[in-house]
A = this chain, B = another copy of it.
Amino acid sequence: MSDMTSTADAPRSPGRPRSVRADEAIIEATLDLLAEGSTIEALSIEAIAARAGVGKATIYRRWSGKDALLMDALRRLKGVPPQPAGHSVRDDLVLLVGAVGHNVDPRAARIMPCLVPEVNRSPDHFQLYQNIIEPRRKLMREVLRRGVDSGELRADLDIELAMALLSGPMLIQRVLRWHPELDERILPERVVDSVLEGLRAR
């Protein structure tokens, strides 16, 4: 940690504590405005700058524009994805299904559902949203492919469909609070085991 006095002398130096604090304030201001009900469309660099207590130039030094800033802000909501251990396909799926729809920031509950109709109206915003979730999907896709290769999963598995089967129940419970009686803590394990085994009597 640098000390405050020396930082104050060189405010433009990148990566120094003052710019880190400014970056943080800008991200926080963006998330606060979205959580308070601002649409992506209505959100402006001016409003974010005013809320963060910085000049617009400070934002443009760090981000190319609103979409780049939005992407960093929305990524912040989700935190870092878990890393599969690579031993058991079933255990890795339980880990990844447990991360589906999980957000580390409580503002996500207000921001994410309302974002959906908006991103669906704009191809650019839809792409931005896909860019945020795609790295997470990639992890699950890799585990499923490993399962097909090892013979644990059906050889004719449709990977994209399998991802929807595993992610859907978790997402509706977390984002839509679909069923009041399903216990979210044990849901990942129960979803994975049921989807792997199937519901048909044998």
A contacts with B: majority SS: helix
Q: Do B201 and A198 have beta carbons less than 8 Å apart?
A: no
Q: Kindly report how many copies of this chain are found in the complex they form together.
A: 2
Judged by a CB distance under 8 angstroms, whether A63 is at the interface is no
Q: Do A194 and B162 have beta carbons less than 8 Å apart?
A: yes
The listed residue (B120, B164, B175, B190) touching A169 by CB distance below 8 A is B164
CB-CB under 8 A for A194 and B113, given A153-B199, A172-B172: no
**Chain B residues whose C-beta falls within 8 Å of the C-beta of A162 in the assembled complex:** 194, 199
CB-CB under 8 A for A176 and B179, given A117-B109, A195-B195, A200-B154: no
Within 156-172 of A, Cβ neighbours of B (below 8 Å) are at 157-158, 160-165, 167-172
The listed residue (B152, B177, B178, B181) touching A167 by CB distance below 8 A is B178
Q: Do B172 and A160 have beta carbons less than 8 Å apart?
A: no
Q: Do A199 and B194 have beta carbons less than 8 Å apart?
A: no
